[in-house]
Structure 1
């Protein structure tokens, strides 16, 4: 955006909602650029503050607050990690891996009163690789967002004045705890998909009577007579646990502080 003359004035981020990596990146950028960083919900009271700073554009991504655009006379756009109107809803990236479909991609659309429903300015699909992880897919989506941003802001007014309305779509709810909790009675293929889908955002698992936060691991099928959930080996940051039809080797995990 900066390459096209956009100047950042203030960042807003809800700490309890945003991934830790997002918070750290915004903190670092705001400090390096001397940009205000506000950790609170975005509400109507913010609009006048932005007007006072001569702000003309509000950009959101992964925002759980409804922007009061009905009281905003300038531009407002949102970035969403799917090809809308498919996969509306909060942070569908996990589900792109849990249950791959043709919904993955980036859409930049006009912000309206309804989440993820505004007219589309620009979008592009992105295929999900066979062994995709949350971290790899998130990185690829960010790169695609940068690409589309460059195209959009090369002729922003034309795109904004000629949007494509959204049709009927579907809604993907936020992932539930039971969906990112490893069940040793599942087959290793399903366990592997859950580990990859959460990646550094961490799935959870229970063994040695403790709950652990899991970042990465590998699985393989192998016949055995062990009870699912049996700890076969553990040392430092490695552990092998028996599953229904094989074994899971956890390669990066820590005791869950939650």
Structure 2
């Protein structure tokens, strides 16, 4: 099947899976990435190797008409921030990959909240594009359990692996899956997490603190240690009665910091005073 892909490396395995299954790409749509939290270099490099046109601006009606002229049959979207409407006049199929078990978890990036809320299971969904984000009929879905020590990075890996599995099914059976797609019905919208949710609250329990760190993983949580803020990606802890004020730096050994929480101590082993980017690398 001839297709266009709209996305970045976040779910770039979808693009690669469709290619491996024999689908023929006609064009890549991507977006500018910061090279810190999001990337598209692998996906763009693959499109260049295949000598396919690449567009970094939002898809409009002229672009959709252009896809039709190229004989494109399907638009596959995975990690693309802009709403795409009006495709029905130009293409038989348009599918979006969303990292949640829709209709639960509509919204820009629900993975952090899934861990903060300690949900017992999660999923990846491919759905038909609709005029509203994340609301289209479900074409395919995979669900999986979450562990008690789940991190952002393990959850992301599970979503990516599920997306590859779904992409393989779509490559084999899109017309059938499309005809059998089921409406979502009422759902829940999860907004982008606020900075307060990303910030460690030392008045919470050790368990609460570690869950915040796990929820953001390599994207990093914020924490105030004494008078300065640091970026944190790795920590462990233990419960122990004490009389320290929560947030007090109790002990330091080289770059390991031990900070008091409400009911014990947290040892921060992965942190930086600098935001990700050039300042940290220098």
**What is the TM-score with the length of structure 1 in the denominator?**
0.88
4+ residue stretches of structure 1 with deviation over 6 A? none
3-state SS of 2:145 partner: coil
How many residue pairs match? The answer is 257
Take 1:223 and 1:102, find their aligned partners in 2: how far apart are those partners?
30
Q: Structure 1 stretches of 5 or more lacking a match?
A: none
- Tell me if the contact between 2:226 and 2:247 (Cα under 8 Å) persists in the aligned partners: no
Cα pair distance change 1:207/1:150, threshold 3 Å:
same
Deviation at 1:53, TM superposition (A): 4.4
- Tell me if the contact between 2:116 and 2:215 (Cα under 8 Å) persists in the aligned partners: yes
Deviation at 1:33, TM superposition (A): 4.8
Further displaced range: 161-170 or 226-235? 226-235
- Tell me if the contact between 1:211 and 1:256 (Cα under 8 Å) persists in the aligned partners: no
Take 1:29 and 1:249, find their aligned partners in 2: how far apart are those partners?
42
Deviation at 1:101, TM superposition (A): 2.7
CA root-mean-square deviation: 2.4
Q: What corresponds to 1:231 in structure 2?
A: 249
Deviation at 1:14, TM superposition (A): 4.3
3-state SS of 1:68 partner: coil
Is 1:107 the counterpart of 2:122? The answer is no
Take 1:25 and 1:222, find their aligned partners in 2: how far apart are those partners?
46
Further displaced range: 115-124 or 233-242? 233-242
Q: What corresponds to 1:218 in structure 2?
A: 236
Deviation at 1:187, TM superposition (A): 1.2
3-state SS of 2:40 partner: helix
- Tell me if the contact between 1:214 and 1:252 (Cα under 8 Å) persists in the aligned partners: yes
Take 1:122 and 1:230, find their aligned partners in 2: how far apart are those partners?
49
Cα pair distance change 1:224/1:70, threshold 3 Å:
same
Cα pair distance change 1:14/1:100, threshold 3 Å:
farther
Q: Deviations over 1:192-245 (max 9, x none)?
A: 111001001111112243221111111211111111111123355422111111
Cα pair distance change 1:207/1:52, threshold 3 Å:
farther
Take 2:117 and 2:60, find their aligned partners in 1: how far apart are those partners?
34
Q: What corresponds to 1:184 in structure 2?
A: 202
Q: Deviations over 1:118-174 (max 9, x none)?
A: 111111211111101000110011111111211222111111122111111111111
Take 1:10 and 1:184, find their aligned partners in 2: how far apart are those partners?
45
Take 1:235 and 1:50, find their aligned partners in 2: how far apart are those partners?
59
Take 2:265 and 2:117, find their aligned partners in 1: how far apart are those partners?
22
- Tell me if the contact between 1:233 and 1:240 (Cα under 8 Å) persists in the aligned partners: yes
Take 2:113 and 2:177, find their aligned partners in 1: how far apart are those partners?
29
Cα pair distance change 1:153/1:128, threshold 3 Å:
same
**What is the TM-score with the length of structure 2 in the denominator?**
0.81
Q: What corresponds to 2:266 in structure 1?
A: 248
Q: Structure 2 stretches of 5 or more lacking a match?
A: 1-17, 277-282
Is 1:66 the counterpart of 2:115? The answer is no
Residue of 13, 18, 21 corresponding to 2:31: 13
Cα pair distance change 1:250/1:36, threshold 3 Å:
farther
- Tell me if the contact between 1:221 and 1:246 (Cα under 8 Å) persists in the aligned partners: yes
